Amino acid sequence: MKINGKVIAVTGGGNGIGRELVLQLLVRGAQVAALDIKKEALEETEKLAGQNKAKLSTFVVDITNRDAVQKLPDQIAARHGAVDGIINCAGIIQPFVRLKDLDFDAIERVCNINFYGTLFMVKAFLPPLLARPEAHIVNVSSMGGFLPVPGQTVYGASKAAVKLLTEGLHSELLNTNVRVTVVFPGAIGTNIAANSGVGLGTQTDAEKSSFKMLAPAKAAQIILDGMEKNKYRVLVGQDAAFMDFLCRLSPERAARFIYNQMRSLLPS
C-alpha cells in the first residue's frame, strides 16, 4: 500500500522505532495518529514533527486496556476522516534472567503489551480497515520471535505469538483489500531496555555482539519500504537476516550461536 495520502496509526509512537515510523510516515505524505502510554514522549514526537505537525494527532493510551483500544478507531477517524493502516510497534523486553527467576508480574506485563496489545489493536481496527479501498496491517515481532535468546524466553514467546498471529491473519485476509506484513528487527539502537525498566549490564556486554546495532531511523525506513511493497515478512538488520538464514539451515547451531553471544548478560 502506498503511504502518501493514507491515515496510519502507530503504537509506540513516543520513542525508538515507533517515533521514527511516525516522523517518516509524515514525510512520505501520510496523516498519522501516534499512540503511546507516555504523554511526554508523544509531546516530544510532536515537536520533532516540525512543519508536518498539522498532519499528526497523538493519543495517550494503554494498549493493554481493551476497552480503551476499542474506542481508538472512531477517535482517530473523527480527527483524520478514516484509518487506512496500523503499525503495531509498541513492545518491551523482560529482565535478563532465566525463566526460573522471572516473576509472574514481569511475565504478564511482557505478554500483555507485546501480544495482547497487538491483538487488541488488530481486533479493534480490522472492521474499519476491511471497509477501506485498500489497507495495511504491520505487526512488529522480533528476531527473538524465531530464535531462542537466553534470558529473554518469555519475550521471545510473546513475539513468536505475534509472528504466528500475523501470518495467520495474512492467510485469512488473502482475498480481501487488507495486506499484512510481519517485521523481524534485530539489534536496534533504541532505549527499549530503559523503557522496559530493564538493565542490560555494562556497555561492554552489549559491545560483544558480532553485529552493529542498526539506527532506529534506518529500521523505520526498511519497515516502511516493506509496507509499500506489500511484503509478507521484513527482516530488519544484517543480524536478523543472518540469523534467519542460520535458523533455517540449522536451528540448534543458531541457538548455540546466540547463546554464546548473549550469555554474558545472564546472572551467573
How buried is residue 23: exposed, middle or buried, by Cβ count under 10 Å (0-12/13-18/19+)?
buried
CB–CB of 211/186 below 8 Å?
yes
How buried is residue 38: exposed, middle or buried, by Cβ count under 10 Å (0-12/13-18/19+)?
middle
Q: What is the DSSP string of 169-233?
A: HHHHTTTSSEEEEEEEE-SB-SSHHHHTT-----HHHHHTSSSPPBPHHHHHHHHHHHHHTT-SE
Catalytic residue among 116, 155, 232, 259: 155
CB–CB of 148/255 below 8 Å?
yes
The residues near 243 (Cβ < 8 Å, ≥ 6 apart) are 143, 146, 147, 186, 254, 257, 258
CA quadruple 22, 23, 26, 28: dihedral positive or negative? negative
**Would you give the distance in Å from CA 268 to the centre of its chain?**
31
232 catalytic, yes or no? no
Q: Any bridge partners for residue 10, and if so which?
A: 34, 87
CA-based nearest residue to 192, from 257, 96, 121: 96
Q: Which grid cell is 35?
A: 499512540
CA-based nearest residue to 238, from 225, 219, 220: 219
> Where in the sequence numbering do the catalytic residues fall?
155
